[in-house]
Amino acid sequence: LLIARENNRVYVGDSKQLGQSIFRLEHVQHREYRLRHNQSNKILCIYQQSLNLEASLALDSHSDQTFIFERVDYNTIEYYIWPTHQRSTRRNKALDVHNDPPGRAGQNGSPVQLYDFHGGPNQRFRLIAVDENI
């Protein structure tokens, strides 16, 4: 994930500097985690804590947004990521890599957004441990 300097929005892309795409997971409670951008120290959040379709992700220094990570299955290292500000009984929105036109998800410049949960490959994220000293 990369952060656009001009608007702090979150996109998929290759980074020349690994440090630009590192987030720290901070355990908040039970299954809730906060995602803090390593370089800017800002929190990853859904813009204005919206639950609207295609709401964008951004970095914010005043947000306390948290997420739940749900493993896709026990044979994979992929996770669905749910915002915690939606009721757990009606959890139907998940983080999603925009896929329009179809096949574009995962290409450089694809925005990360909130979208109706469908369980497709563009809603699966991998957590990769990196050296803390980067």
Contact 12, 110 (CB under 8 A): yes
The sign of the torsion formed by the CA atoms of 10, 12, 13, 17 equals positive
Please check the confidence at residue 85 and state whether its pLDDT lies above 70.
Answer: yes
Count up the domains in the chain and report the number. Answer: 1
Beta bridge partner(s), residue 94 = 115
pTM tops 0.75, yes or no? yes
The helix or strand, by DSSP H or E, that contains position 23, with its residue range, turns out to be: strand 23-29
**Confidence bin at 102 (pLDDT 50/70/90):** low
Q: Which parts of 72-124 are beta strand (E)? A: 78-83, 93-97, 112-116
Evaluate whether residue 132 is within a structural domain.
no
Residue 67 in contact with residue 82, Cβ under 8 Å? yes
CATH code, 27: 2.80.10.50
Host domain of residue 82: 2-126
Res 134 pLDDT > 60: no
